[in-house]
Structure 1
Amino acid sequence: MGISPEWAPPGVDPDQPSVARVHDALLGGTENFAADRAVARRLKDAVPEIVDLVWCNRAFIGRVVDYLVREAGIRQIIDLGAGLPTIENTHEVAQFADPAIRVVYVDLDPMVELHAKQLLQANEHALAITADARDVDAVLGHPGVAQLIDFSRPVAVMMIGLLHLFPDSDDPHSLVAQYMQPLAHGSHLAASNMMVSQNPQAKALEAMLLATMGLGFFRTRESITRYFAGMELVEPGVVHFPEWRPEERHSEGLATWEQLLLGGVARKP
């Protein structure tokens, strides 16, 4: 059961599904409307493993954040397209290692900021803002971001589960470069994209995303790797999510749906 349309905060159209709320519905959350649940049902009908895929995305985020703070020494993170709070959120994983780590959540859906504020009430090192990730100046120049983030020091920019939402006309490669260009040396990028595949499941998912939300632009491995142009890729490079520094090694190979998720982490020299 989700929330009633009457509870929609300003700026939220309960009849228009959002990526953040559809993800919430897929994960069994309650911060979603009927329109979001309808899309979630259609996605599950098209690709029954979609829930596993979303959880795989969450697990990848957790491993990436753990690497950034424990091995790369990052103490500031900007999480773009963060989505609604779930479990093991970016700030929770990061601040478990060091409570002083600073985290900014950015999402287009005002509900993300609303619920994150409740979660972060007593957390002076984390905040959430409502902004379009494609507007780099609005994000990096936001007063809250400018107050929390010291741009003279390394920052990690996370664009996981985000870039496949943007068509080529938005030039996502240029968008990545615009975020990384002003950042200090030693900053990191964590990014991903759904990968083009001839597999029927992949085609069904891409078609359903475009049909239900007008979003979902799968790209080739070469195109995804270009997000990290000019940076030093962290081992094991640009790989399928389960292959990126897994906690346990699996010998049985990747499931078909796991082959749709490609991402990596790189350091700005």
Structure 2
Amino acid sequence: MLLGRMTAMTYSGSSIDPSKPSIARVYDYLLGGKDNYAVDREIGDVFKRDLPGSVAIAFANRAALTRAVREIATTTGIRQFVDLGSGLPTADNVHQVAQRHAPESRVVYVDIDPQVLVHGRALLEDNDRTRVVAVDVRNPEGIRTHPDTVEMIDFDRPVAVIFSAILHHVNDDEDPAGIVRYWRDQVASGSYFFMSHFRSGNNPETAEAEAVLQQTFGRGRWRTDEEIASLLDGLEILDPGIVPASLWRPDETDDLDIGQKRELTVWEHLIAAGLARKA
């Protein structure tokens, strides 16, 4: 959604503070969840009021992620997933989609939001193929060397690395391209990278939303298709390229299939998705 899926860069402690908004909880609110506080709903309502397409963006992003995980699990043979900035559990989480199609799939969720950790670990208590790692996404080495990651992921074999609605919360001076580059260099050939990202339309809607995010969380960066593609430098971006998330490999039953039944709204143009492969 407009607020991505997590708050790895907005938390420094290990306790839940209901007086401060959380990106993950605002996103949960926009998706209709209940794991949020009044302060989160207040921010969410700002987006609903001033940016009425916020909910559509949230659902378009989530649907694209679900399609990407299903595609990877069913067509590539990959059975390892690292989900960076996973956010609060919702319907069709990465491990549920992957393990539905390939039960042997292993998943490592990464998030520093304490509420995400509490809910995630409770949900996964009986799932021995999934872990939740509490490390900031801007510390990829810490994620890579975390004992749970080492236990679950064999980096000598292909891995699916997921950056779903997270890198737009990494400001330019925090080197988002360097984060992707780190993972590109760590994973084996044949690995896949899924990315969704706020997509700049150079219009008042994106400028206003970016301003709200910066004022509220101190971060939030819309990028052009070219800038998003540059984050995947050194990887082969697969068809259909970097496109609005609703148009990224839609299901045949989707009313957006081949763009035949309706035009995208201006809001649906503001979240892009793409899949890339390491040769």
For Structure 1 versus Structure 2, the TM-score category normalised by the shorter chain is over 0.9
The answer to whether structure 1 residue 77 and structure 2 residue 87 are counterparts is no
The answer to whether structure 1 residue 263 and structure 2 residue 273 are counterparts is yes
| Mapped partners of 1:149, 1:240: distance in 2 | 31
CA contact (8 A) 1:202 1:257 kept: no
In structure 1, stretches of 5+ residues that fail to align are 1-8
CA contact (8 A) 1:191 1:227 kept: no
SS in 2 for 1:181: helix
| Mapped partners of 1:82, 1:126: distance in 2 | 13
The answer to whether structure 1 residue 241 and structure 2 residue 251 are counterparts is no
| One of 132, 143, 148 as aligned partner of 2:147 | 143
| Mapped partners of 2:185, 2:72: distance in 1 | 19
- Aligned residue in 1 for 2:7: none
CA contact (8 A) 1:12 1:110 kept: yes
Question: Which range moved further: 19-28 or 191-200?
Answer: 191-200
| Mapped partners of 2:133, 2:145: distance in 1 | 12
TM-score of the superposed pair, with normalisation by structure 2: 0.90
| One of 186, 198, 212 as aligned partner of 1:194 | 198
What are the residue-to-residue correspondences of 1:54-65 with 2, within 5 Å?
A: 54-65=58-69
| Mapped partners of 1:71, 1:237: distance in 2 | 18
Shift of 1:203: 2.2
Letter in 2 for 1:264: G
Deviations 1:7-56 (A, max 9, x none): xx942222221111111111221211222111111111111121111011
- Aligned residue in 2 for 1:95: 99
| Mapped partners of 1:78, 1:102: distance in 2 | 9
CA contact (8 A) 2:210 2:220 kept: yes
Question: Which range moved further: 180-189 or 10-19?
Answer: 10-19
Letter in 1 for 2:123: L
| Mapped partners of 1:224, 1:192: distance in 2 | 9
CA contact (8 A) 2:64 2:273 kept: no
Deviations 1:44-92 (A, max 9, x none): 1111121111011110110110111111221000000110001011111
Letter in 1 for 2:106: R
The answer to whether structure 1 residue 23 and structure 2 residue 33 are counterparts is no
- Aligned residue in 1 for 2:8: none
Letter in 2 for 1:116: G
Give aligned-pair identity as a percent. Answer: 40
In structure 2, stretches of 5+ residues that fail to align are 1-12
Letter in 2 for 1:143: P
Superposition RMSD on alpha carbons, in Å? 1.3
TM-score of the superposed pair, with normalisation by structure 1: 0.93
The answer to whether structure 1 residue 253 and structure 2 residue 257 are counterparts is no
The answer to whether structure 1 residue 218 and structure 2 residue 222 are counterparts is yes
Letter in 1 for 2:24: A
| One of 182, 190, 208 as aligned partner of 1:204 | 208
- Aligned residue in 1 for 2:4: none
CA contact (8 A) 1:104 1:128 kept: yes
| Mapped partners of 1:36, 1:170: distance in 2 | 25
**4+ aligned runs moved over 3 Å, structure 1:** none
Shift of 1:240: 1.0
